[in-house]
Structure 1
Amino acid sequence: MQSETVDEAIYVQQAELLVDLLSTFKPFFIKGISEYALIELLKKAPYQFFDEDALRDPLILFKTHFVLFHALYQLKRNWRERNEGELDIHALKISLKPIDKSDAEQNDGAKLRGKVITEPDKLAEYYLDWSNFEKTDRDSVETLLNGFWQRMAGLRTANYQQSDIDNAHDLLGVNEADGVSSMSLKRAYKKTLQRVHPDKGGNGQQAQKVIQAYQMLCAYYSLNSAK
C-alpha cells in the first residue's frame, strides 16, 4: 500500500511538471503540432523530459503517450476554465483554438453559480485516471515501470554538474544549507514560475529554465535522500 502511495506521488509530480512545461508551448499549439513531433521536442535539450527510448520500446511508448496525454487533457481543462482557448487533442495534430464567444459567456455565467460547463469526454476521463496507466501489465513490467519513472524524473547524476545544481538553487531562491523539503521546494518553484510565466508577462524561455531547475533539484534531493 505504501509503495502505491509513493508511486502515485511520483506520477502526480511529473505530470504537474509537464503541464507547467506545456503551458509555455502556446506558439506550437496555435500553429498545430503532432504527438510525434511534440515527444521528439520534449526528448531534446533544453527540455529532455522524455527518455531517448521513448519512441522505440512499445511499453515505454505507451507510458510516454499516456503521460503526455494526461498532461494535455489537464492543460485543456485549465485553459478552458480560464477561457484561454480550446485545446484540440489528436495524435496527428494538437492545436489551440479560440473558444466560441457564446460558449465562453455560458461558462462565465456557470462559474458565477459555482460550476463550469464541460461536455462528457471519455478520452479525457481515461487519460486523467492514473489507474489506467498502472494496470498495463502491472506484475510483469514492474522493474521496467520503475526504470521509466526514474528516467522521467531525470535521476541520472551524470547529467548534472555541481555548478548546475548551484544555479538551480539560486534561480528558485532556495538554500541547501537551510534544509530543503519537497514542499518548500515546490512552493519556491511555483512562486518563481508565477513571476516569469508568459501568461504573467514573462517569457517562455524564462519559464522553461525555472521548470528545468525544479526538475533538476527534485532529482538531486531524491538521490541524496536515497543514499
Structure 2
Amino acid sequence: MSHSERISAIVRILEANPQGMSEFALLKSLQSENLIYLEPDTFTDSLKLFQTHFLLFHHLYRLRDEWHDEGKGCLSIHTLSIQLRPYVQGDAALAFNDPLRAYYLDLDELAKTEAEDVERLLHSFWRGLGQPAQAGERQKALSILGLEQDASESMIRKAWRQQAMALHPDRGGDAEQFKNLSWAKNYLTKCL
C-alpha cells in the first residue's frame, strides 16, 4: 500500500472519530479493515511494537505536514489521542519545530533501532514515571512524604492525603510533584 493510500485510510478513520482516538484504537481500525498487517505478537514483542509505532507516527507526521501545507487542518499526535482539528494559521510554526517530528520523519532512526535500544527506551520511560531503579527507594519514598523509617500505613496515607490536597494539578498544584507523591505512597503501601 502506498503512502497516499495509507494517508487516505488514516484520514477517513480519524474523520469518523472526531473526538480523536488512541494509537492502539487506530492500529486496530487499520487492521480490521485489512489496511495493515499486524503479526500476532506485535503487541507483546517490544521491537515489533516499536517498529509498528514508529511507522504509524512516521505517516502521521507526514500527514500533519501535508495538511499544514495545504491549509486543510491540524493533526494532534499523541499515543493516547490522535485527532484531526481545524486549521489554525500559526500552528504550523509550532509543529515544524517539534523534535519528535524530526525523529519520526527520519527513517534511519527506525533502521538503526534494535531490540536492546527499545529495552533501554522502555526502561528510561518507566524510570521517568517516578519508579526509580536504585537501592534506597524506600528512603526516597519516605523522604517525599516527610516520614520516618517506622511510619505505619495509616501515617503514610495521612501524609499523602495532606500533601495531595495541595499538590493535585486540578487544584493548581505541580503535576510532577503530585506524581512523585503518588509513587511514594504506592511504593510504601505495597512494601508493608
Is the 8 Å Cα contact of residues 14 and 21 (structure 2) preserved in structure 1? no
For the structure 1 residues 83 and 65, does the alpha-carbon distance in structure 2 shift closer, same or farther, using more than 3 Å as the test? same
Counterpart-to-counterpart distance in 2, 1:132 and 1:14: 21
The yes-or-no answer on 1:133 pairing with 2:133 is no
Does structure 2 conserve the Cα–Cα contact (< 8 Å) formed by 1:43 and 1:51?
no
User: CA offsets, 1:122-177, max 9 Å, x none?
Assistant: 11100000000000129xxxxxxxxxxxxxxxxxxxxxxxxxxxxxxxxxxxxxxx
Q: CA deviation at 1:17?
A: 4.0
* Larger RCO, structures 1/2 (Cα 8 Å, 6+ apart): 1
Show structure 2 runs of 5+ residues with no match. 116-192
Distance 1:40 1:65, change over 3 A: same
1:30 aligned onto 2:7? no
Q: Relative to 1, partners in 2 of residues 1:90 and 1:83: Cα closer, same or farther, differing over 3 Å?
A: same
Q: Distance in 1 between matches of 2:64 and 2:32?
A: 24
- The count of residues paired between Structure 1 and Structure 2 equals 116
Trace 1:1-227 onto structure 2 (pairs within 5 A).
15-28=3-16, 30-100=18-88, 102-103=89-90, 119-137=96-114
- In structure 2, the partner of 1:162 is none
Kept in 2, the 8 Å contact 1:72–1:89? The answer is: yes
Q: Which has the larger radius of gyration?
A: 2
Letter in 2 for 1:92: L
Aligned CA RMSD, in angstroms, stands at 2.8
Q: CA deviation at 1:81?
A: 1.1
What TM-score, normalized to structure 2?
0.52
Unpaired runs of at least 5, structure 1: 1-12, 108-115, 139-227
Cα distance change of structure 1 residues 36 and 74 upon mapping to structure 2, 3 Å threshold: same
| CA spacing shift, 1:45–1:26, aligned 2, 3 Å | closer
Give CA deviations for 1:6-40 in whole Å, capped at 9, x if unaligned. xxxxxxx6545422321322424522000011111
Assess, with a 3 A threshold, how the Cα gap between structure 1 residues 15 and 58 changes in structure 2: closer, same or farther: farther
- CA distance, structure 2, for counterparts of residue 94 and residue 75 of structure 1: 12
> Following superposition, which runs of at least 4 residues in structure 1 exceed 6 angstroms of deviation?
none
Q: Between the two proteins, what is the percent identity of the paired residues?
A: 32
- Per-residue CA deviations over 1:164-203 (Å, capped at 9, x if unaligned) read xxxxxxxxxxxxxxxxxxxxxxxxxxxxxxxxxxxxxxxx
SS in 2 for 1:96: strand
Shift of 1:55: 1.4
Q: Aligned partners of 1:52 and 1:60: how far apart in 2?
A: 10
Normalised TM-score (structure 1):
0.44
Task: In structure 2, give the amino acid aligned to 1:27.
Answer: E
Equivalent-residue separation in structure 1 for 2:39 and 2:2 (angstroms) = 13
**Shift of residue 120, structure 1, vs aligned partner:** 0.9
